[in-house]
Amino acid sequence: MVSNDKVTLETSVEDYYRGVKLLHDPIRNKGTAFSEEERDRLGLRGLLPPKVFTQEEQIIRVLDNLQRKSTDLERYIYLMALQDRNETLFYRVVKDHLNEIMPLIYTPTVGKACRQYGHIFRRPRGLFLSARDKGRMGQVLANWPHRDVRIIVITDGERILGLGDLGANGMGIPIGKLTLYTACAGIHPTQCLPITLDVGTNNRQLLNDPLYIGLGQERLRGREYDELFDEFVDAATTRFPRAIIQLEDFANCNAFRLLREYRNRICLFDDDIQGTASVTLAGLYSAQRITKIEFKNQRLLFLGAGEAGIGIGHLIVSALKSEGLSDQAARQRCWFFDSRGLIVKQRDDLEEHKRPFAQESEHLSSFKEAIERFRPTAIIGVSGAAGSFSEPVLRQLAEINQRPIVFALSNPTSKSECSAADAYRYTGGRAVFASGSPFDPVDYEGRAFVPGQGNNAYIFPGVGLGVIACGATRITDEMFFVAAKSLASQVTESDLALGRIYPALSNIREVSAKIAVAVAELAYESALTTEKRPEDLLEHVKQLMFDPTYDN
């Protein structure tokens, strides 16, 4: 029997998922690929066109439709609609065409989508928890249809990419991140839960927009905010006890504090702080193979001292200490420049998270002057200040270094500190370049450069997969350290010859699997899991990975 659209114990899954219900279930739907036998057995005869298509033929249709769209935002909307009706086909397209599709489902296009989320809204995806749900978070989480959730990505929408406070419109970010968990590391879609915690927005444009989907109030702060988040954590860990919680795009005022509060209590991490740090460290490890300057001798100047910058700094300090430097010597390798200038001890306006990197030096207000004074081997942009790595800055860096390292990591592309073309042009083709969002290959004086993309998608899917594979109870900074080393070790000489300091995205599943093994090995060694180590850990990891092909 079926009562209130729920399957009772007396009803088999096949009896319930039949006909139109089956076609409307994105997890089980194959669309026109249902076989003749399945159409008869599952009550689909007549509900589909008569021709049976293979998945490969369906992919041709999807790609043809994408090419017909005139803008990337339209392509994003089309792909999200495909995900809503046939997840297996959607992930097969993403997996097989990751280079072309990832910029459409994540950065930079997801930034455009978030800005217009209320205007392009079609079907709800994920869970919207709001301040109105205080006292009943557990009830709301119980409405989620899948019980074996392993990854929760949550945002409160206050610092979406480099775009600022987008409130509930920020839901595009956790959806996009979890899409990459499945595409890049094979986490099954039913094990992924995107959540937006809607505590209001201070964006007046959104508050005045009649199509805004979130609460029409200013943001909660202080005790009210903390109580709401704490209730979410308690409800989520009760309902989904094996789930990782990933914090995404929280503002500085909450991100560092929440990470510090919960990281040693539950399986939680902040991707902006720890994932960005890991992918940047991997890029620096790879870059030293080009510059021939040992990692412990690098001098790093950061533009931006928020979550990403300070997170990178802390992981780099740990990496330098592992090579024999003292804590003080390691911190003296990392200099930071924020919107008010060089971060030095004499400043009285420093937030708590910046103070560990305040240096004994005179204050400078010019980034170019800081390069002249500090003579860095690398500049790392995490500022969201578009074009701040200007021609004079890049030329100055190139005067100091034979192979200057230029990481323009701000997202989306419109916020990048410089373009790939400018980095190569103003350094005479000598820059070792990486960006947060993708740039097209660059031809400079007859040589082809393929810019590296320092995208967190190289890191967080593999870390999550590793934690799931071994049942780790906590996520530590050391996991991101071993993830960075694993990622850097997978960069080939042919990658480096093209100027690329990360592996090709087409290899991302193999990359993620190896990172997962490194993370799981560390968890076993550190007694962060009680599960028995499989004899062949890599094979165990690969067996867990979802393959987006239709079951027969």
Residue 100 has pLDDT above 90, yes or no: yes
CB 489 within 8 A of CB 171: no
pLDDT of residue 15: 67
The active-site residue, picked from 112, 177, 514, 542, is 177
Predicted confidence (pLDDT) at residue 92 exceeds the cutoff of 60: yes
Task: Express each pLDDT in 20-51 by its tens digit.
Answer: 999 999 999 999 999 999 999 999 999 999 99
Point out the catalytic residue in the list 17, 91, 106, 550: 106
Domains of the chain in sequence order: 1-53 (1.20.1370.30), 125-266 (3.40.50.10380), 270-552 (3.40.50.720)
As a whole number of angstroms, the distance between CA 18 and CA 41 comes to: 9
> Is pLDDT at 4 greater than 70 in this prediction?
no
Instruction: Provide the pLDDT for residue 3.
Output: 38
| 471 vs 523: CA distance, rounded Å | 9
**What mean pLDDT is predicted for residues 105-109?**
93
Average pLDDT value for residue range 75-94:
98
Would you say residue 1 has pLDDT above 50? no
pLDDT of residue 551: 82
Q: Does residue 449 or residue 9 have the better pLDDT?
A: 449
Q: DSSP secondary structure string, 210-250?
A: TT--S-SSPPP-HHHHHHHHHHHHHHHHHH-TT-EEEE-S-
Q: What are the pLDDT digits (tens) for 509-526?
A: 999 999 999 999 999 999
Q: Residue 159's CB: how many other CB atoms inside 10 A?
A: 25
Tens digits of residue pLDDT in 361-401: 999 999 999 999 999 999 999 998 999 999 999 999 999 99
Give the pair of three-digit tokens for residue 506.
Answer: 């087409």
Average confidence score pLDDT of the chain:
94
Q: What average pLDDT score do residues 147-162 get?
A: 96
Of 211, 289, 254, nearest to 491 (Cα)? 289
The three-state (H, E, C) secondary structure of 483-496, written as one string: HHHHHHHCCCHHHH
Cα 32–Cα 72–Cα 460 angle in degrees, nearest 5: 85
Percent helix, strand and coil across the chain, each to the nearest 5: 50, 10, 40
**Which residues, listed in sequence order, are joined to residue 378 by a DSSP beta bridge?**
300, 405
Structure confidence at residue 12 (pLDDT): 53
pLDDT reported for residue 58: 98
* pLDDT score recorded for residue 7: 39
Give the pair of three-digit tokens for residue 181.
Answer: 């968990």
Give the separation between CA 534 and CA 546, rounded to whole angstroms: 19
Q: How many residues does the chain have?
A: 552
Task: State whether residue 543 is helix, strand or coil.
Answer: helix
Q: Is the CB of residue 367 less than 8 Å from the CB of residue 392?
A: no
Report field, pTM of the whole predicted structure over 0.85: yes
Whether 106 is catalytic: yes
Over residues 456-482, the pLDDT tens digits come to 999 999 999 999 999 999 999 999 999
pLDDT at 11 over 60: no
Report the pLDDT value the prediction gives residue 452, as an integer from 0 to 100.
Answer: 87
Residue 8 has pLDDT above 90, yes or no: no
- What percent of the chain has a predicted confidence (pLDDT) above 90? 93
User: What pLDDT shows up at residue 437?
Assistant: 87
Sequence-ordered list of residues with C-beta below 8 angstroms from that of 203, at least 6 positions apart, any chain: 164, 165, 166, 167
Q: Residue 14 — very low, low, confident or very high, per pLDDT cuts 50/70/90? A: low
